[in-house]
Structure 1
Amino acid sequence: MSYLHVLNGDAVLTAFNQSSLPGDIVVCREVLCEGKVKNTKDPDVFFESRAKHLEFHYGIDKQSYYTQVVQELEKIKPSGSLQEIILWFDNDLFCQFNLLFMIHLIRQRFKALPLITLVDLPRHPTPENYATLFETRTTLTETDLEIADDIWDALCLDTPQALELFSHMNNGHFKHMATAITAHLSRFPNTENGLSSIQEFFLQRLQMGDYRWYDLYKLFWDSLPVYGFGDFQLDVMTNRMIKAGVLEQDDQMLRITSLGSEILANEENYMDYAPMEHRWLGGVRLKTSRWRWNKKLQRLVSM
């Protein structure tokens, strides 16, 4: 039987190769929970939009994006011998949104779908784990695939209302999706001081004392594993907070500023100091969005 294994990121590639499971491998190197995602059914149009956005706002070279990301994903294509695609994805936001796109891409490229299965990947799997996980993989039904495509479409819309509905629904075999969506929605500016959930976490910890950046990152990973963010995403957020004047960095040390303390006390609003012109969450442009995260209600409200 011919298998195609889709892995989320290079971090699991070494251990997977040591597992000696048969089949070809594709590595998804996207970060689709970060930045703009264009609402289109054409993969070429999507990748072109994504490449421009990541180069302009994140400093990711367009050619490198096509070489490292797009060319790798071009391996996902019909083949006469291919009988099953196995999706290996963790339960955090980072992985779950990449999973949605992989299913969307597969459905765009295959007229007749092969068997598609899903592995609920634990954190930091060892080579020995993969054989057992492979044997316990879940077969995704047509209904599952339609659900995933519907959630992906909702993520790409310019309003988060449809996406929020899925955080309260039974999403078939995607048992972690509702939690991941809620984590994503909590990244919208909140109603009290305009901070996202992660920004507020950083300021609350720094209010208690200065941290080396890597110690603060580790605390975040240990406390809020639901996000699954890496150094790159946290560096982007930290630099934005420094430019907004709520954090200061001295060599490796991070500290909260007086403005940061005022925002944390709800005396100022972060959105008054942080440029939102090119900030996106999925298809939602934050500068023009009226949606805010209500911490007490744990849902979005229109302001």
Structure 2
Amino acid sequence: MSYLHVLNGDAVLPAFHQSKLPGEFVVCREVLCEGKVKNTQDPDVFFQSRAKHLEFHYGIDKQSYYTQVVQELEKLKPSGSLQEIILWFDSDLFCQFNLLFIIHLIRQRFKVLPLISMVDIPRHPTAENYLQLFDTRTTLTDTDLEIADDIWDALCLETPQALELFAHLNNGQFKHMSTAITAHLARFPNTENGLSSIQEFFLKRLQMGEYRWQDLYKLFWDSMPDYGFGDFQLDIMTNRMIKVGVLEQDDQKLKITSLGLEILANEENYLDYAPMEHRWLGGVRLKTSPWRWNKKLGRLVAMQK
């Protein structure tokens, strides 16, 4: 039987190679929980938009994006011998949104779908994990694939109401999706001081004392595992907070500023100092969006302008 394995990121490649599982593999190197995702059914248009956005706002060279990300995903196309696609993804937000896109891409490119199965892998899989989980993989039904595609479409919309609805629905075999969506929605500016869930976590920890960057990141990874963000994403956020003036760096350590303390006390609002012009969460442009995260209600609410 001919297998095509889809892996989320290069970090898992050594363990996968050691497992010696049969078949070819594709590595998804995207970070689709970060930045703008265009609402389109055309993969070429999507990648063009994505490349432009990542180059301008994240410093990722367009040519590098096409070489490392798009060309790799070109392997995810029909082949006469292909009989099954196996999706290996973790439970966190980072992996779950990439998983949605991969299913969306498969449905766009394949007129006749092969068997598609999914494996719920641990955070740091070993070769033994791959061997054991291979035989317990879950076959995705047509209904499952439609659910995933519907959630992806909701993520790409200009307003987040449809996506939030999926946080409260039965999402079939995607048992981690509700948690991932809720974690994503909590990144919207909150109603009290305009901070996202992660920004508020950082400021609260630094309120108790200085931290080295990596020590603060480790606290985040241990305390908020539902995100699965790497150094790249956290560095972007931290540097933005430094530019805004709520954090400052002193001898390789991060500490909170007086403005950061005032924002934590709800005496100031982060959005009054942070430019939102080119900030996106999925298809939602934060500059023009009235939606804010209400921590007490655990849901989004529309604020009056």
TM-score range, shorter chain: over 0.9
C-alpha distance in 2, partners of 1:124/1:110? 31
User: What corresponds to 2:80 in structure 1?
Assistant: 80
Q: CA deviation at 1:185?
A: 0.1
CA–CA separation in structure 2 for the residues paired with 1:128 and 1:207:
42
Equivalence map 1:43-82=2 (5 Å): 43-82=43-82
Aligned counterpart, 1:176: 176
1:108 is aligned to: 108
* Corresponding position of 1:269: 269
SS of 2:103's partner is helix
Summarize deviations over 1:229-285 as a string: whole Å, max 9, x none. 000000000011001100001231000000000000000000000000000000000
Tell me, in whole angstroms, the C-alpha distance in 1 between the residues paired with 2:72 and 2:197: 33
Q: Which amino acid letter does the alignment assign opposite residue 231 of structure 2?
A: D
Match status 1:209 vs 2:209? yes
- 1:122 match: 122
Q: Where in structure 2 are the equivalents of 1:216-227 lying within 5 Å?
A: 216-227=216-227
| Structure 2 unaligned spans of 5+ | none
1:137 equivalent in structure 2? 137
Distance 1:138 1:128 in 2: 18
Amino acid at match of 2:203: L
Q: Distance in 2 between matches of 1:185 and 1:301?
A: 11
User: Could you tell me how far 1:125 is from its partner in structure 2?
Assistant: 1.2
What amino acid sits opposite 1:217 in the alignment?
Y
Amino acid at match of 1:198: I
| 1:257 is aligned to 2:257 | yes
Deviations 1:150-205 (A, max 9, x none): 00000000000000000000000000000000000000000000000000000000
Runs of 4+ in 1 over 2 A off after TM superposition: none
Q: Are 2:93 and 1:93 equivalent residues in the alignment?
A: yes
**Equivalent residue of 1:82, what SS?**
coil
| Aligned: 1:194 with 2:194 | yes
SS of the equivalent of 2:22 reads coil
Partners of 2:150 and 2:90 lie apart in 1 by 20
Residue 129 of structure 1 aligns with an amino acid whose one-letter code is N
Q: Distance in 2 between matches of 1:48 and 1:251?
A: 40
Query: Secondary structure of the residue that 2:118 maps to in structure 1?
Result: strand
> Post-superposition shift, 1:128?
1.1
TM-score normalised according to structure 2 size: 0.99
CA distance in 1, matches of 2:210, 2:284: 33
Shift of residue 129, structure 1, vs aligned partner: 1.2
For residues 126 and 28 of structure 1, the distance between their equivalents in structure 2, rounded to whole angstroms, comes to 18
Per-residue deviation, residues 44-83 of structure 1 (Å, max 9, x unmatched): 0000000000000000000000000000000000001000
Partner AA of 2:133 in structure 1: L
Matched, 1:25 2:30: no
Residue of structure 2 equivalent to 1:155: 155
Aligned to 1:14: 14
Letter in 2 for 1:190: N
Count the aligned residue pairs: 303
CA distance in 2, matches of 1:251, 1:284: 37
Separation in 1, partners of 2:250, 2:213: 10
SS in 2 for 1:249: strand
Q: Percent identity?
A: 87
Work out the CA distance in 2 between the residues paired with 1:137 and 1:265.
Answer: 48
Q: Which residue is 2:5 aligned to?
A: 5
Shift of 1:221: 0.3
Q: Give the match for residue 231 of structure 2.
A: 231
Match for 2:236: what amino acid? V
- Aligned residue for 1:119, secondary structure, equals strand
Find the residue that maps to 2:98 and give its secondary structure: helix
CA distance in 2, matches of 1:129, 1:146: 28
Counterpart CA distance in 2 for 1:54 and 1:125 is 29
Query: 2:171 and 2:10 mapped to 1: Cα distance?
Result: 28
